[in-house]
Structure 1
Amino acid sequence: MASSPIFSPARHAAQRDRMADAPTGADFLAPLIAETLLDRLSMVTRDFARTLLIGAHDAALADRLRGTGTDLTLFEAGQRFAQKTGALVGEVDAIDLPLESFDLIVWPGGLESVNDVPGALVRLRALLAPDGLLLGAFVGDGSLPRQRRAVMSEGVRPIARLHPQIDLSSMGNLLQRTGFALPVVDVDALTVRYGDWFALVRDLRAAGLASRLAPAPPPLTREEAARIAAAFAAQADPDGRIAETFRIVHFSGWAPHPDQPRPARRGSGAASLAEALKQKP
Protein backbone atom coordinates (compact mmCIF):
# COMPACT_ATOMS: atom_id res chain seq x y z
CA MET A 1 0.00 0.00 0.00
CA ALA A 2 1.41 3.39 -1.01
CA SER A 3 2.01 5.82 1.83
CA SER A 4 0.02 9.03 1.97
CA PRO A 5 1.82 12.06 0.50
CA ILE A 6 3.28 14.57 2.94
CA PHE A 7 2.65 17.51 0.62
CA SER A 8 -0.34 18.45 -1.52
CA PRO A 9 0.43 19.01 -5.23
CA ALA A 10 -2.81 21.01 -5.52
CA ARG A 11 -1.74 23.39 -2.76
CA HIS A 12 1.69 23.66 -4.37
CA ALA A 13 0.19 24.58 -7.74
CA ALA A 14 -2.12 27.15 -6.13
CA GLN A 15 0.80 28.75 -4.30
CA ARG A 16 2.81 28.98 -7.50
CA ASP A 17 -0.10 30.56 -9.37
CA ARG A 18 -0.48 33.19 -6.62
CA MET A 19 3.20 33.99 -7.03
CA ALA A 20 2.52 34.77 -10.69
CA ASP A 21 0.44 37.76 -9.58
CA ALA A 22 2.80 39.00 -6.86
CA PRO A 23 4.49 42.37 -7.38
CA THR A 24 8.10 42.39 -8.50
CA GLY A 25 10.44 42.06 -5.54
CA ALA A 26 7.89 40.51 -3.17
CA ASP A 27 9.99 37.34 -2.92
CA PHE A 28 13.19 38.59 -1.29
CA LEU A 29 14.82 35.13 -1.30
CA ALA A 30 14.62 34.56 -5.06
CA PRO A 31 17.27 37.09 -6.16
CA LEU A 32 19.61 36.06 -3.33
CA ILE A 33 19.42 32.38 -4.27
CA ALA A 34 19.69 33.20 -7.96
CA GLU A 35 22.87 35.20 -7.42
CA THR A 36 24.53 32.42 -5.45
CA LEU A 37 23.63 29.86 -8.11
CA LEU A 38 24.94 32.10 -10.88
CA ASP A 39 28.16 32.63 -8.92
CA ARG A 40 28.63 28.86 -8.68
CA LEU A 41 27.81 28.44 -12.35
CA SER A 42 30.45 31.03 -13.24
CA MET A 43 33.08 28.65 -11.78
CA VAL A 44 32.33 26.10 -14.49
CA THR A 45 34.75 26.31 -17.39
CA ARG A 46 32.39 24.99 -20.05
CA ASP A 47 29.19 25.95 -21.84
CA PHE A 48 25.79 24.27 -21.52
CA ALA A 49 23.78 24.07 -24.72
CA ARG A 50 20.47 22.92 -23.15
CA THR A 51 19.23 24.05 -19.75
CA LEU A 52 16.18 23.16 -17.65
CA LEU A 53 15.12 25.76 -15.06
CA ILE A 54 12.73 24.36 -12.45
CA GLY A 55 10.46 27.22 -11.40
CA ALA A 56 9.46 30.12 -13.64
CA HIS A 57 8.77 32.94 -11.17
CA ASP A 58 12.25 34.50 -11.24
CA ALA A 59 12.29 36.17 -14.65
CA ALA A 60 15.67 37.78 -13.96
CA LEU A 61 17.30 34.38 -13.41
CA ALA A 62 15.73 33.04 -16.60
CA ASP A 63 17.01 36.05 -18.53
CA ARG A 64 20.53 35.63 -17.10
CA LEU A 65 20.58 31.99 -18.13
CA ARG A 66 19.33 32.80 -21.62
CA GLY A 67 22.10 35.38 -21.80
CA THR A 68 24.66 32.57 -21.70
CA GLY A 69 23.36 31.38 -25.06
CA THR A 70 21.74 28.23 -23.72
CA ASP A 71 18.45 26.85 -25.04
CA LEU A 72 16.29 27.33 -21.91
CA THR A 73 13.28 25.21 -20.94
CA LEU A 74 11.10 26.21 -17.98
CA PHE A 75 9.25 23.72 -15.76
CA GLU A 76 6.56 24.98 -13.39
CA ALA A 77 3.99 23.45 -11.01
CA GLY A 78 1.31 26.14 -11.43
CA GLN A 79 -0.87 25.69 -14.51
CA ARG A 80 -1.68 29.39 -14.89
CA PHE A 81 1.91 30.35 -14.16
CA ALA A 82 3.13 27.88 -16.78
CA GLN A 83 0.77 29.33 -19.39
CA LYS A 84 1.97 32.85 -18.58
CA THR A 85 5.66 31.97 -18.94
CA GLY A 86 5.59 29.26 -21.60
CA ALA A 87 6.77 26.64 -19.11
CA LEU A 88 6.06 22.94 -19.09
CA VAL A 89 3.76 22.09 -16.19
CA GLY A 90 4.07 19.37 -13.56
CA GLU A 91 5.65 18.18 -10.32
CA VAL A 92 9.38 17.42 -10.29
CA ASP A 93 8.95 13.91 -8.85
CA ALA A 94 6.69 13.10 -11.82
CA ILE A 95 8.67 14.89 -14.55
CA ASP A 96 8.59 12.91 -17.80
CA LEU A 97 10.84 14.24 -20.55
CA PRO A 98 13.22 12.50 -22.98
CA LEU A 99 16.34 11.00 -21.44
CA GLU A 100 19.57 13.04 -21.62
CA SER A 101 17.64 16.13 -22.80
CA PHE A 102 19.71 18.67 -20.87
CA ASP A 103 23.29 19.58 -20.11
CA LEU A 104 22.37 21.75 -17.10
CA ILE A 105 19.45 21.66 -14.63
CA VAL A 106 19.00 24.60 -12.25
CA TRP A 107 16.62 24.16 -9.30
CA PRO A 108 16.44 27.36 -7.20
CA GLY A 109 14.18 26.17 -4.39
CA GLY A 110 11.42 23.65 -3.81
CA LEU A 111 13.24 20.37 -3.21
CA GLU A 112 12.38 20.59 0.49
CA SER A 113 8.66 20.14 -0.23
CA VAL A 114 8.73 17.38 -2.84
CA ASN A 115 6.95 14.18 -1.82
CA ASP A 116 9.47 11.81 -3.40
CA VAL A 117 12.87 13.50 -3.18
CA PRO A 118 14.90 10.42 -4.24
CA GLY A 119 12.49 9.83 -7.12
CA ALA A 120 12.81 13.44 -8.24
CA LEU A 121 16.61 13.24 -8.17
CA VAL A 122 16.59 9.96 -10.11
CA ARG A 123 14.41 11.56 -12.78
CA LEU A 124 16.63 14.64 -13.02
CA ARG A 125 19.73 12.45 -13.22
CA ALA A 126 18.13 10.61 -16.16
CA LEU A 127 17.40 13.93 -17.91
CA LEU A 128 21.07 14.96 -17.84
CA ALA A 129 23.39 14.08 -20.66
CA PRO A 130 26.75 12.58 -19.60
CA ASP A 131 28.84 15.24 -17.84
CA GLY A 132 25.68 17.32 -17.27
CA LEU A 133 25.30 19.38 -14.10
CA LEU A 134 22.50 19.65 -11.53
CA LEU A 135 22.78 22.87 -9.51
CA GLY A 136 20.25 23.92 -6.89
CA ALA A 137 19.36 25.36 -3.52
CA PHE A 138 16.61 25.05 -0.92
CA VAL A 139 15.67 26.20 2.59
CA GLY A 140 17.13 23.48 4.78
CA ASP A 141 17.44 22.08 8.27
CA GLY A 142 17.83 24.60 11.08
CA SER A 143 15.79 27.30 9.33
CA LEU A 144 13.15 29.39 11.12
CA PRO A 145 14.06 28.29 14.67
CA ARG A 146 12.19 31.15 16.35
CA GLN A 147 9.00 30.49 14.43
CA ARG A 148 9.24 26.80 15.26
CA ARG A 149 9.52 27.59 18.96
CA ALA A 150 6.63 30.04 18.78
CA VAL A 151 4.30 27.57 17.05
CA MET A 152 4.80 25.16 19.96
CA SER A 153 3.53 27.73 22.46
CA GLU A 154 1.12 26.75 25.21
CA GLY A 155 -2.45 27.19 24.05
CA VAL A 156 -1.69 26.36 20.40
CA ARG A 157 -3.07 23.01 19.26
CA PRO A 158 -0.23 20.46 18.81
CA ILE A 159 -0.89 19.97 15.09
CA ALA A 160 1.84 19.64 12.45
CA ARG A 161 1.94 22.97 10.62
CA LEU A 162 5.59 23.31 9.58
CA HIS A 163 7.40 21.26 6.97
CA PRO A 164 10.04 18.67 7.86
CA GLN A 165 13.52 19.85 6.85
CA ILE A 166 16.40 18.21 4.97
CA ASP A 167 19.92 18.48 6.38
CA LEU A 168 23.29 18.62 4.64
CA SER A 169 24.37 15.04 5.30
CA SER A 170 21.05 13.65 4.08
CA MET A 171 21.28 15.68 0.88
CA GLY A 172 24.83 14.52 0.19
CA ASN A 173 23.81 10.90 0.69
CA LEU A 174 20.78 11.36 -1.57
CA LEU A 175 22.91 12.72 -4.41
CA GLN A 176 25.26 9.76 -4.15
CA ARG A 177 22.45 7.19 -3.90
CA THR A 178 20.69 8.61 -6.97
CA GLY A 179 23.76 8.33 -9.21
CA PHE A 180 25.35 11.78 -9.19
CA ALA A 181 29.12 12.09 -9.38
CA LEU A 182 31.19 14.64 -7.46
CA PRO A 183 28.32 15.71 -5.19
CA VAL A 184 28.87 18.88 -3.19
CA VAL A 185 26.54 20.29 -0.50
CA ASP A 186 27.13 23.43 1.53
CA VAL A 187 25.06 25.95 3.46
CA ASP A 188 24.74 29.73 3.85
CA ALA A 189 22.96 31.15 6.90
CA LEU A 190 20.87 34.24 6.22
CA THR A 191 19.52 36.33 9.11
CA VAL A 192 16.48 38.53 8.55
CA ARG A 193 15.15 40.81 11.29
CA TYR A 194 11.39 41.27 11.63
CA GLY A 195 9.15 43.67 13.46
CA ASP A 196 6.60 40.96 14.16
CA TRP A 197 5.55 37.42 13.24
CA PHE A 198 3.02 38.59 10.65
CA ALA A 199 5.81 40.20 8.59
CA LEU A 200 7.61 36.84 8.55
CA VAL A 201 4.42 35.10 7.42
CA ARG A 202 4.06 37.57 4.54
CA ASP A 203 7.64 36.85 3.44
CA LEU A 204 7.11 33.09 3.60
CA ARG A 205 3.99 33.33 1.47
CA ALA A 206 5.71 35.59 -1.07
CA ALA A 207 8.60 33.11 -1.32
CA GLY A 208 6.29 30.12 -1.82
CA LEU A 209 7.26 28.71 1.58
CA ALA A 210 3.79 28.53 3.12
CA SER A 211 2.50 25.14 4.21
CA ARG A 212 1.78 22.52 1.57
CA LEU A 213 1.05 19.76 4.06
CA ALA A 214 -1.58 17.17 3.18
CA PRO A 215 -4.13 17.19 4.54
CA ALA A 216 -4.10 20.90 5.29
CA PRO A 217 -4.05 21.60 9.02
CA PRO A 218 -7.05 23.49 10.41
CA PRO A 219 -6.62 27.25 10.31
CA LEU A 220 -5.26 28.98 13.38
CA THR A 221 -7.82 30.60 15.59
CA ARG A 222 -7.37 34.28 16.41
CA GLU A 223 -6.26 33.33 19.90
CA GLU A 224 -3.69 30.83 18.57
CA ALA A 225 -2.29 33.38 16.09
CA ALA A 226 -2.02 35.93 18.90
CA ARG A 227 -0.19 33.42 21.12
CA ILE A 228 2.28 32.57 18.34
CA ALA A 229 2.85 36.25 17.59
CA ALA A 230 3.49 36.97 21.27
CA ALA A 231 5.90 34.02 21.62
CA PHE A 232 7.76 35.14 18.50
CA ALA A 233 7.99 38.73 19.80
CA ALA A 234 9.30 37.44 23.15
CA GLN A 235 12.48 36.34 21.32
CA ALA A 236 13.27 39.89 20.17
CA ASP A 237 16.63 41.61 20.43
CA PRO A 238 16.92 44.68 22.71
CA ASP A 239 15.77 46.94 19.84
CA GLY A 240 12.49 45.02 19.61
CA ARG A 241 13.18 43.24 16.32
CA ILE A 242 13.29 39.46 15.99
CA ALA A 243 16.20 37.87 14.11
CA GLU A 244 15.02 34.84 12.14
CA THR A 245 17.39 32.47 10.32
CA PHE A 246 17.11 30.94 6.86
CA ARG A 247 19.69 28.22 6.17
CA ILE A 248 20.07 27.98 2.39
CA VAL A 249 21.46 24.60 1.36
CA HIS A 250 23.29 24.62 -1.99
CA PHE A 251 23.92 21.39 -3.84
CA SER A 252 25.48 20.20 -7.07
CA GLY A 253 26.13 16.90 -8.78
CA TRP A 254 27.27 15.72 -12.19
CA ALA A 255 25.97 13.01 -14.48
CA PRO A 256 28.89 10.57 -14.62
CA HIS A 257 31.37 10.76 -17.48
CA PRO A 258 34.68 8.87 -17.97
CA ASP A 259 36.72 12.07 -18.21
CA GLN A 260 35.61 13.43 -14.83
CA PRO A 261 38.14 13.54 -11.98
CA ARG A 262 37.69 10.93 -9.29
CA PRO A 263 36.22 12.25 -6.03
CA ALA A 264 38.42 12.60 -2.98
CA ARG A 265 38.32 9.80 -0.42
CA ARG A 266 35.44 10.33 2.02
CA GLY A 267 36.63 12.14 5.13
CA SER A 268 39.82 13.43 3.51
CA GLY A 269 38.60 17.02 3.62
CA ALA A 270 40.03 17.54 0.12
CA ALA A 271 36.77 18.19 -1.73
CA SER A 272 35.70 21.77 -2.40
CA LEU A 273 32.86 23.39 -4.30
CA ALA A 274 35.21 25.21 -6.65
CA GLU A 275 37.12 22.05 -7.59
CA ALA A 276 33.96 20.00 -8.03
CA LEU A 277 32.47 22.55 -10.39
CA LYS A 278 35.59 23.00 -12.51
CA GLN A 279 35.61 20.96 -15.69
CA LYS A 280 38.13 20.84 -18.49
CA PRO A 281 37.22 23.13 -21.42
Structure 2
Amino acid sequence: MESRSPPRIFSRQRRQAGLRRALVRQSQRDAARYVLDDMVEDILERLEFMRLSPAKALVIGDWTGTLALSLRGNGSQVDETDLRDLDEEAPLPAGGYDLIVSLASIGRVNDLPGSLTHLRAALAADGIMIASIVGAGSLSNLRRAMIAAEPDRPAARMHPLVDNAAASGLMQRALFRRQVVDGRSLEVAFSSLDRLVSDLRDQAMTSSLASSAPPLGREALGRARDAFLEGRNKQNRVVETFEILTLTGWKD
Protein backbone atom coordinates (compact mmCIF):
# COMPACT_ATOMS: atom_id res chain seq x y z
CA MET A 1 0.00 0.00 0.00
CA GLU A 2 1.32 3.43 -0.88
CA SER A 3 2.16 5.51 2.18
CA ARG A 4 1.14 9.14 2.14
CA SER A 5 3.00 11.93 3.83
CA PRO A 6 0.87 14.20 6.04
CA PRO A 7 -0.06 17.54 4.50
CA ARG A 8 2.44 20.31 5.17
CA ILE A 9 0.45 22.81 7.20
CA PHE A 10 3.20 24.04 9.52
CA SER A 11 6.76 25.20 8.97
CA ARG A 12 9.21 23.82 11.50
CA GLN A 13 11.67 26.57 10.52
CA ARG A 14 9.14 29.33 11.23
CA ARG A 15 8.18 27.72 14.54
CA GLN A 16 11.79 27.49 15.66
CA ALA A 17 12.51 31.05 14.51
CA GLY A 18 9.54 32.26 16.56
CA LEU A 19 10.88 30.40 19.60
CA ARG A 20 14.33 31.95 19.21
CA ARG A 21 12.78 35.42 19.06
CA ALA A 22 10.60 34.64 22.08
CA LEU A 23 13.59 33.56 24.15
CA VAL A 24 15.27 36.88 23.38
CA ARG A 25 12.08 38.72 24.40
CA GLN A 26 11.96 36.67 27.61
CA SER A 27 15.15 38.40 28.73
CA GLN A 28 13.03 41.52 29.15
CA ARG A 29 11.55 42.05 32.56
CA ASP A 30 7.89 42.37 31.53
CA ALA A 31 7.78 39.60 28.93
CA ALA A 32 4.58 37.53 29.07
CA ARG A 33 4.88 33.86 29.99
CA TYR A 34 1.54 33.07 31.58
CA VAL A 35 0.56 30.24 29.22
CA LEU A 36 3.66 28.16 29.94
CA ASP A 37 3.55 29.06 33.64
CA ASP A 38 -0.05 27.80 33.75
CA MET A 39 0.94 24.55 32.02
CA VAL A 40 3.85 23.93 34.38
CA GLU A 41 1.74 24.62 37.47
CA ASP A 42 -0.96 22.26 36.22
CA ILE A 43 1.55 19.47 35.53
CA LEU A 44 3.04 19.81 39.00
CA GLU A 45 -0.43 19.58 40.54
CA ARG A 46 -1.21 16.47 38.49
CA LEU A 47 2.02 14.75 39.50
CA GLU A 48 1.37 15.54 43.16
CA PHE A 49 -2.19 14.23 42.90
CA MET A 50 -1.00 11.00 41.26
CA ARG A 51 1.86 10.76 43.76
CA LEU A 52 4.10 10.10 40.81
CA SER A 53 7.86 10.08 41.44
CA PRO A 54 9.46 8.95 38.16
CA ALA A 55 12.97 7.56 38.26
CA LYS A 56 13.68 8.85 34.76
CA ALA A 57 11.81 11.72 33.11
CA LEU A 58 11.97 13.76 29.91
CA VAL A 59 10.75 17.36 29.80
CA ILE A 60 10.08 18.90 26.39
CA GLY A 61 9.40 22.58 25.83
CA ASP A 62 9.71 24.09 29.31
CA TRP A 63 12.14 26.93 28.64
CA THR A 64 11.54 28.22 32.19
CA GLY A 65 13.33 25.17 33.66
CA THR A 66 10.82 25.09 36.53
CA LEU A 67 9.41 21.63 35.92
CA ALA A 68 12.77 19.90 35.56
CA LEU A 69 14.03 21.62 38.70
CA SER A 70 11.02 20.39 40.68
CA LEU A 71 11.38 16.82 39.39
CA ARG A 72 15.08 16.75 40.24
CA GLY A 73 14.25 18.04 43.70
CA ASN A 74 12.11 14.92 44.16
CA GLY A 75 14.95 12.63 43.12
CA SER A 76 14.19 12.11 39.41
CA GLN A 77 16.81 11.86 36.72
CA VAL A 78 15.62 14.44 34.18
CA ASP A 79 16.53 15.01 30.55
CA GLU A 80 15.47 18.29 28.97
CA THR A 81 14.93 18.92 25.26
CA ASP A 82 15.36 22.33 23.67
CA LEU A 83 12.64 22.91 21.08
CA ARG A 84 15.11 24.86 18.96
CA ASP A 85 16.86 21.57 18.24
CA LEU A 86 14.03 19.05 18.46
CA ASP A 87 12.24 17.59 15.46
CA GLU A 88 8.91 16.61 17.02
CA GLU A 89 8.08 14.36 14.07
CA ALA A 90 11.19 12.17 14.44
CA PRO A 91 11.82 9.36 16.95
CA LEU A 92 13.37 10.51 20.21
CA PRO A 93 17.08 9.68 20.52
CA ALA A 94 16.64 8.06 23.94
CA GLY A 95 13.96 6.06 25.70
CA GLY A 96 13.00 4.15 28.78
CA TYR A 97 11.35 7.14 30.43
CA ASP A 98 8.89 6.66 33.25
CA LEU A 99 7.46 10.12 32.50
CA ILE A 100 7.48 12.34 29.44
CA VAL A 101 6.04 15.85 29.66
CA SER A 102 5.56 17.89 26.50
CA LEU A 103 4.56 21.54 26.85
CA ALA A 104 3.19 23.68 23.99
CA SER A 105 5.16 21.56 21.53
CA ILE A 106 3.17 19.02 19.52
CA GLY A 107 0.17 21.22 18.73
CA ARG A 108 1.91 22.66 15.67
CA VAL A 109 3.36 19.66 13.86
CA ASN A 110 2.28 18.21 10.53
CA ASP A 111 2.26 14.60 11.73
CA LEU A 112 0.64 14.75 15.16
CA PRO A 113 -0.24 11.00 15.23
CA GLY A 114 3.40 10.25 14.45
CA SER A 115 4.63 12.59 17.18
CA LEU A 116 2.41 10.90 19.76
CA THR A 117 3.57 7.49 18.58
CA HIS A 118 7.23 8.51 19.02
CA LEU A 119 6.50 9.78 22.53
CA ARG A 120 4.81 6.50 23.46
CA ALA A 121 7.73 4.53 22.03
CA ALA A 122 10.16 6.44 24.26
CA LEU A 123 8.29 5.44 27.42
CA ALA A 124 9.25 2.53 29.62
CA ALA A 125 6.62 -0.10 30.36
CA ASP A 126 3.82 1.49 32.40
CA GLY A 127 5.29 4.91 31.65
CA ILE A 128 3.07 7.96 31.36
CA MET A 129 3.04 10.81 28.87
CA ILE A 130 1.44 14.18 29.61
CA ALA A 131 1.24 16.74 26.81
CA SER A 132 -0.29 20.20 27.16
CA ILE A 133 -1.26 22.17 24.06
CA VAL A 134 -3.29 25.26 23.22
CA GLY A 135 -6.64 23.98 21.98
CA ALA A 136 -9.26 24.96 19.44
CA GLY A 137 -11.37 27.02 21.84
CA SER A 138 -8.70 29.71 22.03
CA LEU A 139 -8.46 33.34 20.89
CA SER A 140 -11.96 33.85 19.51
CA ASN A 141 -11.65 37.66 19.60
CA LEU A 142 -8.43 37.55 17.65
CA ARG A 143 -9.96 35.26 15.04
CA ARG A 144 -12.91 37.61 14.63
CA ALA A 145 -10.55 40.56 14.24
CA MET A 146 -8.54 38.81 11.53
CA ILE A 147 -11.70 38.09 9.54
CA ALA A 148 -12.83 41.71 9.89
CA ALA A 149 -9.44 42.92 8.66
CA GLU A 150 -9.93 41.32 5.24
CA PRO A 151 -13.67 40.71 4.90
CA ASP A 152 -13.64 39.97 1.17
CA ARG A 153 -10.78 37.51 0.99
CA PRO A 154 -9.16 36.82 4.38
CA ALA A 155 -5.70 35.27 4.29
CA ALA A 156 -4.78 32.38 6.56
CA ARG A 157 -3.10 34.11 9.50
CA MET A 158 -3.93 31.77 12.38
CA HIS A 159 -3.05 28.11 12.37
CA PRO A 160 -5.61 25.37 13.07
CA LEU A 161 -5.86 24.05 16.62
CA VAL A 162 -6.82 20.62 17.94
CA ASP A 163 -10.09 20.16 19.81
CA ASN A 164 -10.89 17.68 22.58
CA ALA A 165 -12.59 15.08 20.38
CA ALA A 166 -9.78 15.07 17.82
CA ALA A 167 -7.15 14.79 20.56
CA SER A 168 -8.91 11.75 22.03
CA GLY A 169 -8.97 10.05 18.64
CA LEU A 170 -5.29 10.81 18.07
CA MET A 171 -4.35 9.28 21.41
CA GLN A 172 -6.21 6.10 20.46
CA ARG A 173 -4.41 5.99 17.11
CA ALA A 174 -1.08 6.26 18.92
CA LEU A 175 -2.01 3.05 20.82
CA PHE A 176 -1.76 4.27 24.38
CA ARG A 177 -3.12 1.67 26.77
CA ARG A 178 -5.29 4.25 28.51
CA GLN A 179 -5.79 7.86 27.60
CA VAL A 180 -7.51 10.90 29.02
CA VAL A 181 -7.97 14.31 27.40
CA ASP A 182 -9.26 17.21 29.46
CA GLY A 183 -9.41 20.94 28.97
CA ARG A 184 -9.50 24.11 31.01
CA SER A 185 -9.68 27.82 30.23
CA LEU A 186 -7.10 30.48 30.98
CA GLU A 187 -8.63 33.96 30.64
CA VAL A 188 -6.47 37.05 30.10
CA ALA A 189 -7.65 40.65 29.67
CA PHE A 190 -6.15 42.97 27.06
CA SER A 191 -6.41 46.69 26.43
CA SER A 192 -5.71 46.38 22.71
CA LEU A 193 -5.01 44.02 19.83
CA ASP A 194 -1.38 45.15 19.83
CA ARG A 195 -0.97 44.08 23.46
CA LEU A 196 -2.29 40.61 22.67
CA VAL A 197 -0.01 40.22 19.64
CA SER A 198 2.98 41.31 21.72
CA ASP A 199 2.14 38.70 24.37
CA LEU A 200 1.85 36.00 21.70
CA ARG A 201 5.27 36.93 20.36
CA ASP A 202 6.72 36.78 23.87
CA GLN A 203 5.47 33.21 24.17
CA ALA A 204 6.31 31.90 20.68
CA MET A 205 2.62 31.58 19.87
CA THR A 206 2.47 33.48 16.59
CA SER A 207 1.62 31.71 13.34
CA SER A 208 3.96 29.04 12.02
CA LEU A 209 1.94 28.20 8.92
CA ALA A 210 3.97 26.91 6.00
CA SER A 211 2.33 29.51 3.73
CA SER A 212 3.07 32.92 5.17
CA ALA A 213 0.44 35.63 4.62
CA PRO A 214 1.59 39.15 3.69
CA PRO A 215 1.51 41.81 6.44
CA LEU A 216 -1.76 43.62 6.98
CA GLY A 217 -1.98 47.03 5.35
CA ARG A 218 -2.76 50.14 7.36
CA GLU A 219 -6.50 50.08 6.66
CA ALA A 220 -6.82 46.35 7.31
CA LEU A 221 -4.90 46.68 10.55
CA GLY A 222 -7.22 49.49 11.62
CA ARG A 223 -10.26 47.31 10.95
CA ALA A 224 -8.70 44.48 12.96
CA ARG A 225 -8.00 46.77 15.92
CA ASP A 226 -11.54 48.14 15.89
CA ALA A 227 -13.10 44.69 15.59
CA PHE A 228 -11.02 43.39 18.47
CA LEU A 229 -12.19 46.22 20.74
CA GLU A 230 -15.82 45.42 19.99
CA GLY A 231 -15.44 42.69 22.60
CA ARG A 232 -14.61 45.14 25.42
CA ASN A 233 -16.18 44.62 28.82
CA LYS A 234 -17.23 47.26 31.38
CA GLN A 235 -13.60 47.59 32.44
CA ASN A 236 -12.67 48.52 28.85
CA ARG A 237 -10.76 45.28 28.42
CA VAL A 238 -11.13 42.42 25.96
CA VAL A 239 -11.01 39.04 27.69
CA GLU A 240 -9.37 36.36 25.56
CA THR A 241 -9.55 32.67 26.39
CA PHE A 242 -6.68 30.23 25.99
CA GLU A 243 -8.07 26.71 26.04
CA ILE A 244 -5.42 24.39 27.42
CA LEU A 245 -5.83 20.72 26.45
CA THR A 246 -3.93 18.11 28.43
CA LEU A 247 -3.38 14.72 26.82
CA THR A 248 -2.46 11.92 29.23
CA GLY A 249 -1.59 8.41 28.10
CA TRP A 250 -0.11 5.25 29.60
CA LYS A 251 2.05 2.72 27.79
CA ASP A 252 1.59 -1.05 28.07
Give the structure-1-normalised TM-score. Answer: 0.82
Q: 1:61 aligns with which of 47, 67, 74?
A: 67
User: Is 1:198 matched with 2:194?
Assistant: yes
Q: Which residue, out of 134, 139, 143, partners 2:138?
A: 143
Aligned length: 245
8 A Cα contact 2:56 2:99, kept in partner? yes
Contact 1:76–1:91, Cα closer than 8 Å, also in 2: no
TM superposition shift of 1:160: 0.7
Could you say which residue in structure 2 is the equivalent of 1:11?
A: 14
Match for 1:144: what amino acid? L
Task: Give the Cα separation in 2 of the matches to 1:177 and 1:4.
Answer: 18
Residue 89 of structure 2 aligns to a residue in which SS?
helix
1:84-112 CA-partner distances (Å, limit 9, x unpaired): xxxxx2221113324x4211100121222
| Corresponding residue SS for 1:252 | strand
Distance 1:65 1:150, change over 3 A: same
**Larger displacement relative to structure 2 (243-252 or 69-78):** 69-78
Distance 1:160 1:129, change over 3 A: same
**Equivalents in 2 of 1:92, 1:213: separation in Å?**
16
1:104-157 superposed Cα distances (whole Å, 9 cap, x missing partner)? 100121222111100000001100011001012111011111111111015454
Using a 3 Å threshold, how does the CA distance of structure 1 residues 62 and 223 change in structure 2: closer, same or farther? farther
| Aligned position for 1:254 | 250
Distance 2:106 2:6 in 1: 19
Instruction: Verify the 8 A CA contact 2:149 2:221 in the aligned structure 1.
Output: no
Q: In structure 2, what is the Cα distance between the partners aligned to 1:49 and 1:15?
A: 33
Measured at CA, do residues 154 and 90 of structure 1 come closer, stay the same or move farther in structure 2, by a change above 3 Å?
Answer: closer
Instruction: Confirm whether residue 222 of structure 1 aligns to residue 225 of structure 2.
Output: no
Partner of 1:120: 115
Do the aligned residues in 2 keep the contact of 1:37 with 1:136 (CA within 8 Å)?
no
Cα distance in 2, alignment partners of residues 200 and 32 from structure 1: 17
Q: Does 1:173 align with 2:176?
A: no
Q: Match of 1:19, as an amino acid?
A: A
Q: Structure 1 regions of 5+ residues with no counterpart?
A: 79-88, 257-281
Structure 1's consecutive aligned runs of 4 or more residues displaced over 6 angstroms after TM superposition are: none
What secondary structure sits across from 2:137 in the alignment?
Answer: coil
Q: Tell whether the 8 Å contact from 1:191 to 1:243 is kept in structure 2 after alignment.
A: yes
8 Å Cα contact 1:107-1:136 kept in structure 2: yes
Report if aligned partners of 1:19, 1:57 keep a CA contact under 8 Å in 2.
no
SS of residue in 1 equivalent to 2:227: helix
Pairing 1:20-99 to 2, within 5 Å after superposition? 20-21=23-24, 22-23=26-27, 26-78=32-84, 89-98=85-94
Cα distance, 1:76 vs. partner? 2.0
Within 5 Å, which residues of 2 pair with 1:148-167?
148-153=143-148, 155=150, 157-167=153-163
Question: Structure 1 pair 208/46, CA: closer, same or farther in 2 (3 Å)?
Answer: same
Cα RMSD of the aligned pairs, angstroms, is: 1.7
The CA deviation string for residues 179-199 of structure 1, in whole angstroms up to 9 with x for no partner, is 112211111112111100111
Q: Which runs of 5+ in 2 are unaligned?
A: none
Q: Distance in 1 between matches of 2:114 and 2:195?
A: 35
Shift of the 121–227 alpha-carbon distance from structure 1 to 2, 3 Å rule, reads same
Aligned equivalent of 1:265: none
Match of 2:235 in 1: 239
Distance 1:2 1:136 in 2: 24
146-155 vs 5-14, greater mean Cα deviation:
146-155
Name the SS of the counterpart of 2:124 in structure 1. Answer: strand
> Does the residue aligned with 2:81 lie in a helix, a strand or coil?
strand
